[in-house]
Amino acid sequence: MKLTGKTAIVTGGARDIGRAISIKLAKLGANVVVNYRSNEATANETIDLIKAAGGAAIAVKADMTKFADCKHLVDKTVEAYGNDIHILVNNAGGLVARKKLHEMDEEFWDHLMTLNLKSVFMMHKVTVPHMPSGSSIVNLASQAGRDGGGGGASAYATSKGAVMTFTRSMAKELGPQGIRVNALCPGMIATTFHDTFTPDNVREIVANKTPLRREGTSEEVADLVACLASDETSFVSGANFDINGGLAFS
C-alpha cells in the first residue's frame, strides 16, 4: 500500500484510534491533516510522532459539530497541500455518557446525533467537492451500530447505525464520481473510550468471549483504514467492515 502524493484528513486524529490512523497514513506517504477539537498538546504529540517517522502532517483545530469549523478544516487542508483531497477518515465522535431512556433528554439525544452522525454528513458535504476520481472515504461506525450497544448506549448505537446506512447511500451516490465510501465497525478496542466508559470486569468478560481472546488495538484498526484508503481496494465500496476478533458477525 502506497499513498505517496495523496492528501488525507483524519477527524479526531490526535489520539487513540485517530492517532494510529494519522501515523499509519503518513508512514505510507500521505500528507496528513490531523484534526483536533480542544487538546492542542495531544495533537502536537501526534504531529511529532509523524515527523519522527519521516511523515508530513499539520494539526488543525476544528469542532466537527459545527459546519463552519468543518469548512475551516477543509480550507486549511487546501491551503497547506493543494486543492485535491484524496482521503477522508471520519473518526471524530463519542459516547459522551451512558444514559438509559429515562435519563436522557432531548438535548443529550440531539448532541449525540450531531457528534456522531451530522458531523459525518457535514464532512462529506465540504470535502467531496475537492475529491478527484480514485478518492476514498472511510467512516468509523461501531459494533454497537449492529447490535444496539451496551447498557445506556442506545443514542450512541443509533447514531453509529445511521453512519452505516449513510455509508451505503454515499457509496451509491458518489460511485459515479469514482469516490469509494466504506465504514469500519470496531468492537472492543483498547482505547481511552473504554478506559472511561467500560468497567474493567466487563472488558475482561468481553475479551474472554472473543474468539481471539483479547481486545483489539488502535494500530489494527489503522491498518484496515489504510487498506481501504489505498488503491489495493479499488473495487470495494459501500461495505461496513467488522473488526472485533470474531466476537460478532455481520
- Quote the cell numbers at residue 197: 466508559
115 to 11, 73, 84, 155, 230: CA distances (angstroms): 12, 16, 26, 11, 27
Kindly tell me if the per-residue pLDDT of 1 is higher than 80: no
- The residue annotated as part of the active site, out of 81, 156, 166, 241, is 156
What is the overall mean pLDDT for the chain?
A: 96
Per DSSP, the three-state class of 77 is: helix
Q: Would you give the DSSP letter of residue 230?
A: S
Q: What share of the chain is helix, strand, coil (3-state, %, to 5)?
A: 50, 15, 35
The pLDDT assigned to 73 comes to: 98
Spell out the residues 6+ positions from residue 39 whose beta carbon is closer than 8 angstroms to its own: 14, 15
Per DSSP, the three-state class of 183 is: strand
CA distance 38 to 209: 36
The pLDDT assigned to 24 comes to: 98
If pLDDT is split at 50, 70 and 90, which confidence band does 192 have? confident
106-165 tens-digit pLDDT: 999 999 999 999 999 999 999 999 999 999 999 999 999 999 999 999 999 999 999 999
Active site residue 36: no
If pLDDT is split at 50, 70 and 90, which confidence band does 195 have? confident
Least confident of 14-28, 71-85, 189-203, 205-219: 189-203
Domain ranges of the chain: 7-241
The pLDDT assigned to 194 comes to: 83
State the DSSP string of 90-157: E----------GGG--HHHHHHHHIIIIIHHHHHHHHHGGGPPTT-EEEEE--THHHH--STT-HHHH
CA distance 195 to 244: 17
213 to 106, 142, 188, 210, 245: CA distances (angstroms): 39, 19, 11, 5, 8
If pLDDT is split at 50, 70 and 90, which confidence band does 212 have? very high
71-101 tens-digit pLDDT: 999 999 999 999 999 999 999 999 999 999 9
What is 7-241's CATH topology? Rossmann fold (3.40.50)
Per DSSP, the three-state class of 223 is: helix
CA distance 55 to 24: 9
Radius of gyration of the chain (CA): 17
Amino acid identity at 47: I
